Structure 1
Amino acid sequence: MDFIAGAIGGGLSTAVGYPLDTVKVRIQTEGHYNGIWHCIQETYRTERVLGFYRGVSASVFSVSLISSVSFGTYRNFLCNICKLRYGTADAKPSGLDVSLAGGAAGAVRVVLMTPSEVAKVRMQTQRNPHSSVTSSQPLSKPKYRGSLHCLKVIAKEEGFGGLYKGCSALLCRDCSSSAIYFLTYSSLCDWLTPAGKNKPGFLVVLLSGGSAGVLAWGLATPLDVLKSRMQVDESGQHRYKGLIHCARESVRKEGLKVLFKGLGLNCIRAFPVNMVVFVTYEAVLRFTEHFTNKK
């Protein structure tokens, strides 16, 4: 049920946060925007509402799958740690146990996540001008017709390795942020739940989930910037040779502040998105438990 609950929560959260994610990626990978509002205005002016949802279909599917794996791996890994350390899976885990389980969930997630992330970033940064803002000249055909077509083109032009561009940055980002994410959520739930109550209330879940997302994304933003820049680097460009080279070149050309592009957006987006993830996850688990107990 952890896998199923995670999948439902991940899918719903994507629908909530995708437009801001598109804005975040464009700010991180392109230098001509003066800020968040300028990017939103330009995207809407040239591409209308559809511009904010480039690649959303593949993202909903992939995030559902990835969230399922993430929550399922986390719970199963945590149960195994508790069995080994305390003799029973139901034992109360320590902060270190939660962090290790969270880090493991992040590492497993990267294997599934990278190709869809590459496709998402390419689709989000592709320009498809709306007909009402173009001249009388015919519209040029976009390189990628959709997320699946994007993956096919990348595999053909850049090989299998093209589907895993930015994997090193994604691995560093997700292992550390996932450990922080689950530790923060678990700690806040324990702290905010009144003594004597077995489970946190839904208001506590909402607050803890949103706060965990903000903290995790706030700390992960520098690696998120590098990941996006590496993934948008198409065949024939070869701007970056790897994670360290991407970091060095980005900082050399744009200063240290480049690593914090999209920080505000990441934090703004993270709160509602992760509120939805955790409250859906908990609701599905509790509904299933209640239904099972009644039978």
Structure 2
Amino acid sequence: MSNVQRKPVARKGSHADEVAPGKKAVKGYAVAPPPPPLGRRMLAGALGSCTAEAGTMWLDTVKVRLQLAPPGAPTSLVGMLLFVARTEGIGGLFGGLTPALLRQASYQSIKMGTFDPIKAAIAKAARVPSNEAMPFWILALAGGLAGAIGTVIATPTEIAKVRLQAGASGGVFGALSTLHAEGGIIGLWLHPSIVPNVQRSFVVNAAELAAYEWTKALLTRTLRWRESTAVHVLAAVVSGLCAALASTPVDMAKTRMMNGDCGANMLRCLADVAATSGVLALYASLFATWMRLAPWNVINFVSLERYKRLLA
């Protein structure tokens, strides 16, 4: 056997090619691996979002209750949390979990599966060099389109989730049966709330995915941080804050329309809320929304990155 030792081959862009001769490589990685195939990206998106949904469902329920709160009901996050737990038990905080998981499995798998191809197609059309950082507007447009596509497909489970969180009984199949009775098979998707739902999804995902990808690129490419869990957490927190600021008013309109409290016009719904309760009422659930989106995004994106590496 030959005694000649082969030099380890460093992959392009890996942490190994940045280590000085004679120094031991630091455990970790410098850049993310190439994205897995479409099917595996979709699976990673579904697994990551279901992990986040199960861990933060109670916050989403409190947010929905705040958006639908009648006069005299608690108006703070903690107050509504205690009110629901006292009157309905802990289980009341997890109403709609089954349709929520069904929605995430369908919606997020489509969103995360289509985000990279849409982003690449827009970048190619805009003639962005492959060695340059992706412009923010491309990330936002790709995120918005991917989210809108996933939302259209997952609309029935989204409506069932909101109604169960608002206190409806009968479980997921009961909620879907009621929705079917209201408008038939087509009505499961062509519900009056689909327009604000898609609009809200476009805004949320444009802000969420663009902020996450841009922040992660800023930390790893500009500031030269190693891509790590800390980078993913920081990017996810920024992503959640941007999504909450951008989406709270349209999210309120979507929730009220899905629950039957508004008509089919999102702008008129927002105008009615502002006229009866004041402009600040449009952001009544901002803190609850951010408190829900921040941990949700952290769990989702950290889990997503792990699932992507596991499936790569």
Aligned to 2:7: none
- Could you give the per-residue CA deviations for residues 67-112 of structure 1, whole angstroms, max 9, x where no partner exists? 1111111111112233444488776422222122112112202202
Does the 8 Å CA contact 2:44/2:311 hold for their aligned counterparts?
Answer: no
1:25 maps onto 2:64 in alignment = yes
Q: Which residue of 1 aligns with 2:286?
A: 263
Q: Which residue of structure 1 lines up, in the alignment, with residue 22 of structure 2?
A: none
Aligned equivalents of 1:247 and 1:89: distance in 2?
Answer: 42
In 2: Cα distance, 1:188 partner to 1:244 partner: 32
1:173 matches 2:212: no
| Offset from partner CA, 1:30-53 (integer Å, 9 cap, x none) | 222232222112211111101001
Instruction: Note if 1:147 corresponds to 2:172.
Output: yes
Residue in 1 that maps onto 2:109: 68
Aligned to 1:107: 148
User: C-alpha deviations, 1:152-177, integer Å up to 9, x for none?
Assistant: 11211344436523222122211122
Instruction: Within 5 Å, give how 1:125-136 maps onto structure 2.
Output: 125-126=166-167
Aligned counterpart, 2:36: none
Q: Distance in 2 between matches of 1:195 and 1:219?
A: 26
CA separation of 1:281/1:63 partners in 2, compared to 1, >3 Å: closer, same or farther? Answer: same
Q: Counterpart in 1 of 2:297?
A: 274
Name the CA distance, whole Å, in 2 between partners of 1:256 and 1:97. 31
- The answer to whether the Cα contact below 8 Å between 1:9 and 1:64 also exists between their aligned partners in 2 is no
Aligned to 1:39: 80
> Deviations along 1:225-271, whole A, 9 cap, x unmatched?
111001111xxxx7524212212222221111221121001111111
**1:137 paired residue number:** none
Give the aligned partner of residue 93 of structure 1: 134
1:193 is paired with a residue of what secondary structure? helix
Shift of 1:121: 1.2
CA distance in 2, matches of 1:189, 1:173: 24
Give the root-mean-square deviation of aligned CA atoms.
Answer: 2.3
Stretch moving more, 7-16 or 73-82? 73-82
Deviation at 1:197, TM superposition (A): 6.0
CA distance in 2, matches of 1:162, 1:247: 24
- 1:195-214 matched pairs, under 5 angstroms: 200-214=227-241
Q: 1:214 aligns to what SS in structure 2?
A: helix
Letter in 2 for 1:45: R
Alignment CA distance shift 1:144-1:95 (3 Å): same
Say which is worse superposed, 11-20 or 208-217, in terms of deviation.
208-217
Of 250, 261, 274 in structure 2, the residue corresponding to residue 223 of structure 1 is 250
CA contact (8 A) 2:140 2:206 kept: yes
Contact 1:2–1:75, Cα closer than 8 Å, also in 2: no
Amino acid at match of 1:252: A
Q: Is the 8 A contact 2:119 2:142 kept in 1?
A: yes
Equivalent pair of 2:193/2:254 in contact (CA under 8 Å):
yes
TM-score by length of 1: 0.83
Give the TM-score normalised by structure 2. 0.79
1:196 offset after TM fit, Å?
A: 9.4
The partner residue of 2:48 within 2, 5, 9 is: 9
Write the distance in 1 (CA, Å) between the matches of 2:162 and 2:224. 43
Partner of 1:285: 308
The one-letter amino acid of 1:30's match is A
Q: In the TM superposition, what is the alpha-carbon distance from 1:114 to its structure 2 partner?
A: 2.1
Deviates more, 1:156-165 or 1:212-221: 156-165
Gaps of 5+ in 2: 1-39
**Are the equivalent residues in 2 in contact too, given 1:6–1:281 (CA < 8 A)?**
yes
Q: Quote the residue 1:249 is aligned against.
A: 272
